[in-house]
Structures are given as structure tokens and as C-alpha cells.
Structure 1
Amino acid sequence: MDLPLLSSILLFISTAQAFQYSELAQYIDSHQEEYVETLRDWVAIESDSSNVLKRPDLHRMMDMTADKLRTMGGNVELVDIGEQELPDGQMLALPKVVTARFGNDANKHTVCVYGHVDVQPAKLEDGWKTDPYNLTDINGNLYGRGASDNKAPVLAWIHAVEAYQALNMELPVNVKFVIEGMEETGSNGLDAMILAQRDTFFSDVDYIIISDCGWLSRRPALTYGTRGNCYFFAEVEGPKQDLHSGVYGGTVIEPMTDLIGILDMLISSNGKILIPGIREAVAPLSDEEWRMYQDIEFDLENYKNKIGVNQLMYSNKVDLLAHMWRYPTVSIHGIEGAFSDPGTKTVIPAKVIAKFSIRQVPNMDPAMVKKQVTDYLHSVFAKRKSPNKLKVTMVIGAKPWLADTQHPLYEAGKAAVKRVFDMDPDLIREGGTIPIARTFQDVTGKSIIMMPIGGFDDGLHSQNEKMSRYNYIEGTKLFIAYLNEVAQINKTSI
């Protein structure tokens, strides 16, 4: 037997024998109040990446993250990723990306955990029952903006490493962290940073783990796919200034009327996308996928109750899940320039900008979707014979991501879920977009798994976002168990 193979076998045996899950789990249980208080400190920082006025808070959030990892003895760097240009032409510093390393044993696998600590906007008057930036514990649920997306999962990974350290147990794998502060607005600057460090920071990484998603039901899940996102602005411009509707109504062709007219041509009332070429590009649903969807735990009635509707677009589980995960959809998000404040205002807007998106799935290409949407809207607009001007711009073009569920990473995930929760996980896809997954895959060539700990009812991006104490603490145990399972993957299966 050759020495490298013998070394691998001995490492496998020693790791399997040395794992002391019960002691680690007990440590987590005994420190859960400390973990909740740390989350409270993190949630208190209004790290809203979409609001340039909150940029100092975002910088403070990145510093706090780096300090936490430094106190644990990690090899930490704050990586400068440059500036962003604001609409008025001003330049604003992007929040630095935090990288950290724990362990440097060439005989061990190296995993890289990705997360983000920026959040969506939140105000009490939006309909929150509690102050969104004051973590509030109600019946075991920890309410606060960013609690589930993504501060608690990031902290759970940090606590997992801390637990090994506190009990003087050797980490079963080397652990690296990449934590950013611009995920909610498109991860500005991160793609370039990953490309720049492909042959340095990422050179020895074997696997990448992302925990920026959630379960589908009360059953734990492993996520193997996400949709991409093409986000568009459609701008219609007419008069040189806003006009009084009493004085000018009926004499001008109004930009808002044109805009509503072309938006109505994007999607039918039954959800059919009307843009030529979109549906034809979608990868067909395979028999294997259909069977997987049949086995997933998902309750249509609970889903309807959670979102407060009495009717869904589809009436059976497989159709609904397929259209949530692996078929594209068009969503209209808002109209800039329209009057939206309380009260009345009799104005004809001179310029209005519609904001809508199309979620991407395999085998769609954002560049082709951009052309299809632009050509189609201009053709629809031309038929209106309007003197107004139309401008279509794609501001985000994120690709979908899909993993192989037969990869050893997923087998390790199943084993870790079984150990902690005593059940098998659902294998699910995510309807949302995590652009960085595709970037990691394309740039580094490394295998990726998404391992969520967020609940199905956490309210991501919504009012009253929360992370349950149960998911936070048991999720930390899951990460502890998963590091051990990954350590047992044979090197030849990478």
C-alpha cells in the first residue's frame, strides 16, 4: 500500500474515532444565551446596503465581524474591493470583504464558508410588530432585520468553530470564511475579488458552503439549486416636466399609460410569460425531478395561510414547486416617478420607470434574455405609435446555479442532518437568487453545497423577519456535525 493512501485511511479512522458530538452539543446548549446576545449586537447595526446613508453602519458591521474572528485566533483580512458609482456620479467606498482562516493542515480538507452581514431596509412603520433593529425574543422566535438573512447563520458557523476551540478539540477540516456586505444589492465588487484571489486564498479550498437560504417546511433541507435574476428598468419619457391633469389631461399621450400598456404585455393573468423565446429556452422537467418533488414535504394549505392568500397559481404540489424553483417567472416590483404617498395628487408624471425582473433557470442565458426583453418591449411600444420615448435597461444579470445531489458533499449533509435532527433532509431548490454561488462555481471550479438553517416562515426581506432559537442553536450543532462528515470524504472523490 502506498504512503498517501495509508495516510488518508489513517486520517479517516482517527477523525471518525475522535469525534465527540455529545460534548460539543452540550457546549452549544450551555452557551445559547451568549449566542443570542451576540446576535442581538449584530442585529442592532443597521447594515442596510441599499441606503448610502447607512454606509458607516455597514463599515462598522464588517469591522465587528472581523474583530469577532480575530478574537478567535483566525488569520483575518479586510479586503478592499474598491468603490461604487452612485447615480449622481459620486464615488462611495464599498464595504471591505472579511476573509479568515482557521487551520492550515495540508492533510485535511479545506472548506470555505460564505455569508453576508448586510440586510434589507426595515422601518417600524412598514408594519413591524417590534423594532426591527432590536432583537426581540417572543415565544422562542428572535425577531429582527437580518436575524435569518444572514446574520444568525453566519454566527452559527462562527460558533461551531468556537465550540471546537473551547473544548480544545482539533477542527476536523481547515475552515475559511468569506463574509461580504453587499449581497442584498448584488454583491458589488465580490466577483472581481474572487477572481483576483482564485490562485491564492481559494487555491487550497476543496468545498464551498453557503447557508443563505431556508427550509421549505419543518423538515431540515439541503439546497442544490437557485434561480438567477435579470432585473430591468423600463423608462418612458414624455413631456419636459410634470403636468397638471386638469389642464393637460386629454391633450397629451401620458407616459404612465404607455408604461402600464407595455407592462401588461409581459405576462398573462394565468402566469404565462408572453416574451418570445423565454419559455422555449427552459430545460425540460425530467422524470427524476418529478419524482423528487413528489417526495418533498410541502403543505399547500400551510403555504397559503403563511402568505395570506386563498388561491395559488397552481393547485398541486409538484406544479407549484416546479414553478417556484425551476421555471422562470416575471414579477413587477414598482414604478419610479409615480405618485405613491398618502393622499391625492393630480399630476401627469413626465417620466416613469417600471422595475421588473425575470428569474432565470437552466438553460437560460441572461445576455439572450436582455435582448429578448428589449426587442419585445420596443416592438410592443412601437405598436402604440406613441411620441414618448422608451428606454430598456438590464441592471442585474445573475445566472442560476445547480449542483449534483449525488456528490459526497450532499451525502455528508444527509449524515449530519440525520445525526442532529434524527431524520432525512428534503433535497430542495431555491426560487430566489444567490449570484455568488454561480460565481464560485465558474471561477474556482469548486463543489458547492447550500446548507440552510433558516425556517420556512422566517419572513426574509419582509416585515417581522425572525430566526427561531431552535433553528439557531440546532443549526450550530448541524454545522459542527457537518465539518466532521466532510472530513471523512475520501480525497479521491473531490
Structure 2
Amino acid sequence: MSAPSSPSLPAGLLGRVFRYIDRHQDEFVQASPVLWLLLLLWGGMSAPSSPSLPAGLLGRVFRYIDRHQDEFVQTLREWVAIESDSIQPVPRLRQELLRMMTLAADQLRCLGASVDSVDMGSQKLPDGDTLPMPPVLLAELGSDPQKPTVCFYGHVDVQPARQEDGWLTDPYTLTEVDGKLYGRGATDNKGPVLAWINAVSAFRALQEVSGRPCLGGRAVTMSLQVKCRDQDFHSGTFGGILNEPMADLVALLGSLVDASGRILVPGIYDHVAPVTDEERKAYEAIDLDLEEYRSSSRVEKFLFDTKEEILMHLWRYPSLSIHGVEGAFDEPGAKTVIPGRVIGKFSIRLVPHMNIPVVEKQVKQHLQQIFSKRNSSNQMAVSRTLGLHPWVADVKEHQYRAAKRAIKTVFGTEPDMIRDGSTIPIAKIFQDVIQKSVLMLPLGAVDDGEHSQNEKINRWNYIEGSKLFAAFFLEMAKLHQ
């Protein structure tokens, strides 16, 4: 993301991003707020002229980060303590989210950045009430157009979390156990946002301010509703004489994917890009201990036996996952009701050359065909709730070279260049608007459990990740010279 030609670009960039989103709003979820944090680090981070100085400078930065790691953990503890849940449209939680944005803005101002808070309006709820949307923060540090620009994006909202859902600790109290920092948002995404801030703060404090790269992400999420009526039925009165919505839904969901993980929707593989020899060699070269991966994932067995098959099905082939059912009884104990209306939720991870409208049409046609065979008197409705086009980065661009060098410096190893199934809409937006390749540089571990119970980030990942981002800044500056 090269330097702009004039200091006016940050506002212009944000405007272009907003206009892109307006034009593509039907492809994004409108029901839940999106939270952004943009950090533009302008020049003044150029590498020193002496070849021997970068090592000395980096050494001092690394020592600063090590000495202040307890402070960095404490800041993460303060951020995790804020219940910035953006999923549930509850006034109390929305106020917590706004409080989180204020804290993030204050943290950026402490770096010396100018911070603009952009009002995003309000969110209209189904009952007609409204809630304020969280603002977008645009922070700018430095303003020399002759020096390289790094544009960093992150979010500080979180998924819902309750201790009674299976957390071993209070999800909003950062708890350290054996070097692991447990808390909602620790790895997604408050920890990584703070790691960037930690890196900048180290440079600022020393007055020197003059994971693995991810190559792609994609998703379509859908909901499938089967309805008889709005009210539930008593099974003792109506059992055996109805087309039960839950039975229809289970049959429909079961028709989507087989026991080997293959999607059963006709035609869905027709536009999957062929695998090249170069890709196959890349998968063979990736360092992955299958037994360690299986053990850390706490599963008995994967669907596939080889490293290459595992990686290809994770990153290269489409996959379908069923996430849950809304409207069904899910509390402890017995409740012998027949749900009058149920909604199944599932997603399809896309790969290059797959087209969202085509996939949506294929899924709807398949489900309608299965439903018609059941001769059910219920009503079925299928809708797409989110659709993100597949995104693949250009690994030959300069930020990837900088990231690889930084990873080698901090971790002493060459990074694997991977794809990922995570759904991060802004990556594709940035790439389309700026016409530059986008780098995703994660610092978490495979067992961090983002979105799940007992989410955590390892202290080591958090601190070494802060060093990685500092090294990345200097490598970017060196490439710019």
C-alpha cells in the first residue's frame, strides 16, 4: 500500500471505501454493525542509512517490548474487560461498544496520532427501535508524502460470550494460565490491534520514528427457514399428524453435504479453478505436523489422511458447514414441544472463479427440489445473509517481501504462504478500491479458539507479534528506499 501523492489521501481513501460499500451493500450484512479501526502510519519510519544500524535499532525496540510486556498485557486486560459485543442488538452492549471505541481512540491519541471519528448513523431493529452504530476511527500518524504509508485495519468488537456456555473463566476478565491469556477478544481482534499499537509505541518511546501471511478468504452464509405457524405445538396433541418443521429442516440440511465433506449441490464444483503444479508444490512445502494439529484441535480423526489433502480442503476447495438452528429448544432438560418455525444456518466457503449469485441459485434450486420430494405442507424460504467474493493476494508485491523478512528476523524461519477460510470483507474491499494487494499478517495460534469458548492468545504470540510488526515497519521502509 504505497505512499499517496498528497496528504489528502486518507480522507479520499475512506471516501472511496465508503462509496464501494454503498455500491455493494446488498452483498453485506445489514443486521449487525461493522466496526473498523484504521491506522495510517505515515513516513518518518525510514530505515537508517548505515547497514549496521537496523539490527541495533531492532534490538533496542525488541528489548523495549520485552521490558514493557506486563504493561502491554495490562492494556489488553483493560480492553478485554469491555463487553463490546456487536452481535446482540442490546442498548447496554451497544454502549459498551461505543465505550470501547472511545478507549481505542484515546490509545491512538496517546501515540500522537490525529483521530477522526466518523459517524455511521443508526441501526434499525425489527421492532422499529434504533441503536447507534459504532463509528469508524481513522487515525493518522505522520504526513510526509515522500515516505511509505502503511495502512492497518483492525476491529475491536467481539462475539457474544457467557461463562455458562462453557468458559472455564470469566470471558471478560483476562486470565493468564500457563502463558495463555484467556478472554473474549484476546486473539480476535483486540490483541492483534494492540500489538500494532505496541510496535508503534516502542518506536515512539525510543524516539526512532523519523504468524504467517494469509493469501485469501471467502464465504457465503445462508439461512433456511421451514414454517408451519408462528406458535409451537404440543407433541402430545399434534405429534404424528403434522409435517413437522424440524423434520423437514433436518432432511434439507442433511442433503447439503455428505459424510466425506463433499458438497451435494449439483454444479457447485463446475467453476472451481483447477489446481496448478505450482500450487501443489507449495502445499507440499508447507510445514505441518498432522498429529500435532489433530491433537491441538482435540479431534479423533480428520476426514483426510495426508497433509496435502488437509491443506487443499482447508484452503483450496469449497466447503459447507452447518452452524445451528434457531427456534428449537436447546436448554437442559426436556421440553416436548414441536417447533412451529425453525431456521437452519449454514455457510459455504468459496474459492476463485466461483460466483456468488450462481452458487446462491444452485443452493436454492437444490433445496427446493429436495423439499418438493417431501410433499410437505410447510413453507420453505432460503435467503443469503452474507456473500463475499473469493479474494486472493499477489504475494510478489513489496509488503509480502517485507513481511517474509520480518518473520525471518523475529522467528528465525521462513513463513508458509497460506490461504484461510476466515470471512474478512474489508480485505477484498481494500484490494478493489486501492488496486494494491492486501497483506493479512496474523499473530495468533491455531488453537486460539476465536469465536469459541475459552478464546485465548498466548503471551508469547502477543509479545513476539508486537516485535514482528515493528520489524515489518522497518522492512517496508528499507524496500521504499
Q: Is TM more than 0.5 here?
A: yes
Counterpart-to-counterpart distance in 2, 1:321 and 1:35: 34
**Structure 1's 148 and 12: CA in aligned 2 closer, same or farther, altered over 3 A?**
closer
Q: Does the alignment pair 1:22 with 2:70?
A: no
Pick one of 192, 212, 233 that aligns with 1:221: 212
Report the 3-state secondary structure (helix = DSSP H, G, I; strand = E; otherwise coil) of the residue aligned with 2:76: helix
Report the equivalent of 1:55.
94
Counterpart-to-counterpart distance in 1, 2:123 and 2:274: 39
Report the equivalent of 2:75.
38
Counterpart-to-counterpart distance in 2, 1:135 and 1:483: 29
Report the equivalent of 1:127.
166
Unmatched segments (≥5 aa) in structure 1: 1-10, 172-219
Give the TM-score of the pair, scaled to structure 1. 0.85
Report the 3-state secondary structure (helix = DSSP H, G, I; strand = E; otherwise coil) of the residue aligned with 1:356: strand
Report the equivalent of 1:379.
369
Query: Offset of 1:488 from its aligned partner?
Result: 2.1
Give the TM-score of the pair, scaled to structure 2. 0.87
Runs of 4+ displaced beyond 4 Å:
15-18
Query: Offset of 1:447 from its aligned partner?
Result: 2.2
Q: What amino acid maps onto 1:72 in structure 2? A: L
Q: Which digits, 9 at most, give the CA deviation of each residue in 1:404-423, with x for residues without a partner?
A: 22222111111111111122
Pick one of 102, 112, 124 that aligns with 1:85: 124
Counterpart-to-counterpart distance in 1, 2:230 and 2:85: 34
Unmatched segments (≥5 aa) in structure 2: 1-45
Counterpart-to-counterpart distance in 2, 1:377 and 1:434: 27
Pick one of 347, 360, 384 that aligns with 1:394: 384
Counterpart-to-counterpart distance in 2, 1:316 and 1:418: 27
Q: What amino acid maps onto 1:89 in structure 2? A: G
Report the equivalent of 1:259.
249
Report the 3-state secondary structure (helix = DSSP H, G, I; strand = E; otherwise coil) of the residue aligned with 2:347: strand
Query: Offset of 1:13 from its aligned partner?
Result: 6.7
Q: What amino acid maps onto 1:441 in structure 2? A: Q
**Structure 1's 13 and 468: CA in aligned 2 closer, same or farther, altered over 3 A?**
closer
Matches for 1:163-178 after TM superposition, within 5 Å: 163-171=202-210
Q: What amino acid maps onto 1:23 in structure 2? A: R
Q: What amino acid maps onto 2:214 in structure 1? A: T
Q: Does the alignment pair 1:108 with 2:147?
A: yes
**Structure 1's 253 and 62: CA in aligned 2 closer, same or farther, altered over 3 A?**
same
**Structure 1's 161 and 13: CA in aligned 2 closer, same or farther, altered over 3 A?**
closer
Query: Offset of 1:264 from its aligned partner?
Result: 1.4
Query: Offset of 1:18 from its aligned partner?
Result: 5.1
Report the equivalent of 2:157.
118
Matches for 1:65-464 after TM superposition, within 5 Å: 65-171=104-210, 220-226=211-217, 228-239=218-229, 241-464=231-454
**Structure 1's 284 and 302: CA in aligned 2 closer, same or farther, altered over 3 A?**
same
Q: What amino acid maps onto 2:213 in structure 1? A: L
Range that drifts further, 233-242 or 111-120 = 233-242
Work out the number of aligned pairs and report it.
433
What is the RMSD of the two structures over their aligned residues, measured on CA atoms? 1.7
Query: Offset of 1:340 from its aligned partner?
Result: 1.1
**Structure 1's 446 and 15: CA in aligned 2 closer, same or farther, altered over 3 A?**
farther
Query: Offset of 1:313 from its aligned partner?
Result: 0.9
Counterpart-to-counterpart distance in 2, 1:367 and 1:445: 24
Equivalent residues of 1:400, 1:435 under 8 A apart = no
Q: Percent identity?
A: 50
Equivalent residues of 2:196, 2:466 under 8 A apart = yes
Equivalent residues of 2:219, 2:421 under 8 A apart = no
Counterpart-to-counterpart distance in 1, 2:241 and 2:67: 73
Report the 3-state secondary structure (helix = DSSP H, G, I; strand = E; otherwise coil) of the residue aligned with 2:473: helix
Query: Offset of 1:145 from its aligned partner?
Result: 0.9
Report the 3-state secondary structure (helix = DSSP H, G, I; strand = E; otherwise coil) of the residue aligned with 1:251: coil
